[in-house]
Amino acid sequence: MPKLDSRAADYVKERMPMIGVGTYQVRSESILTDTIDEAFKLGYRFIDTAQIYRNEAVLGRILPDLLDKHSLTREDIFITSKVSPVNQGKGKTSKSVLKSLEELKMPYIDLVLIHWPGTSRLKSNHKDNAKFRAETYAELEDLMGQGKIRSIGVSNYEINHLETLLEQCRILPAVNQCECHPHFRNTQLAEYCKKKGIHFQAYSSLGGPDYVADLLKDEAINKIAKTHKTTTAVILLAWGLAQGYSILPRTEKVKRIGENWSAKEVKLSEEEMKSIESIDKSNKACWDPSVVV
C-alpha cells in the first residue's frame, strides 16, 4: 500500500486543542453565546459542531462578536463539523459542506468528519453504505485540496470501516471521533487508530445522555474524585486526556465550562489509572456503528 498523504493529520496535530466545547443538542442562541463566551474567556479555542446538530447557523451569527470581544481572529480557533448521514454520496457531500461554510460564515472549516459509516434511508446491512462512504471521503479530499477545509477524518468508524477506507483514500484520516469512557474504553479501536497515525477523539466522556448517571455513581471514580478534591465528571475527562485522547465535553451551564476546563490540571497516578481501567463494563451508551457494513 502506498504511503498516504499526512497533511490532514499533521494539521490536526499542530492546530487542534485537546479540549473542545461540544455543542450536541445545544441550539439555543443565548445558551451558546453564554457558554462559548465563558469558554473563550477561560482559554478554550475549539468548538465541535455537526450538520445534524442544526446549530451551525447560530454559531455563524454569534462567533464574529465573540471573537471580537475576546480579541481573537478566525485563525485563533479550531472548528470541527461533520457530514450528516443524509448528505453522504457523490455531489451531496460537497453541497452540504459548502452550506456549512455559508451558515458558519467562515472561509474554511478546520476539520470535517464523516459523522457515521452508514447512509440515511439505507439499512445498516446494505452494501451501498460502503459505496457512499467512499464517495463522501473522496469529496472531502477534493474540498481539502480546494482549501475549503483544512483537514478531514471520520466519526464512529470501526476497525473494518477504517481498513476499507485506508485501502481507498489518498489522504490519511486525521481523526476518528468515537464514544469512549471508563465503562466503554474502546481500547482495541483506540490502539488501532494510534498504530495507523489516526488521532482518537473521545465523545460522551461522561457516558452519554441516558447513561451518565450510572457512570457518575461509580464508586472507584468517586473515590478518586475525593482524593483530588474535584468532581467525578472532572476525573472522567482527565482520564480521557491521560490516554492522549482529545475530549469534547458539552454543557448548557456556564458554571460547568470552567469545571470541564479544570480537567487538564488533574494528573492521575498510575494506580488511579489502573483502578479506572478495572471498571470497564463494555457498556455502550450511544448508537452502535458495528452493525453497519
Structural domain count of the chain: 1
Residues of the domain holding 189: 7-210+243-252
As a whole number, mean pLDDT of residues 269-288 equals 92
Q: What is the pLDDT of residue 1?
A: 60
Q: What is the CATH number of the domain that holds 206?
A: 3.20.20.100
pLDDT band (50, 70, 90) for residue 280: confident
Do the domain assignments include residue 154? yes
Where are the extended beta strands (E) located within 239-286?
246-247
pLDDT beyond 90 at 2: no
Do the domain assignments include residue 263? no
Q: What is the pLDDT of residue 112?
A: 99
Q: Is 11 a catalytic residue?
A: no
pLDDT beyond 70 at 149: yes
Annotated binding site for substrate: 115
Annotated binding site: 115
Q: How far is CA 138 from the centre of its chain?
A: 20
Do the domain assignments include residue 260? no
As a whole number, mean pLDDT of residues 19-28 equals 97
pTM recorded for the entire structure: 0.96
- Residues 30 and 253: their CA atoms lie apart, in Å, by 11
The x, y and z cell numbers of residue 97, run together, are: 459542506
Q: What is the pLDDT of residue 208?
A: 77
Do the domain assignments include residue 222? no
- Residues 81 and 94: their CA atoms lie apart, in Å, by 13
> Out of 11, 24, 44, 53, which one is annotated catalytic?
53
| Nearest alpha-carbon partner for 20 in 98, 68, 79, 64 | 79
Q: What is the pLDDT of residue 108?
A: 98
Q: What is the pLDDT of residue 81?
A: 98
Do the domain assignments include residue 271? no
pLDDT band (50, 70, 90) for residue 146: very high
Do the domain assignments include residue 61? yes
Do the domain assignments include residue 259? no
176-209 pLDDT tens trace: 999 999 999 999 999 999 999 999 999 999 987 7
pLDDT beyond 90 at 86: yes
- Residues 153 and 17: their CA atoms lie apart, in Å, by 16
Do the domain assignments include residue 42? yes
How buried is 197 (Cβ within 10 angstroms: 0-12 exposed, 13-18 middle, 19+ buried)? middle
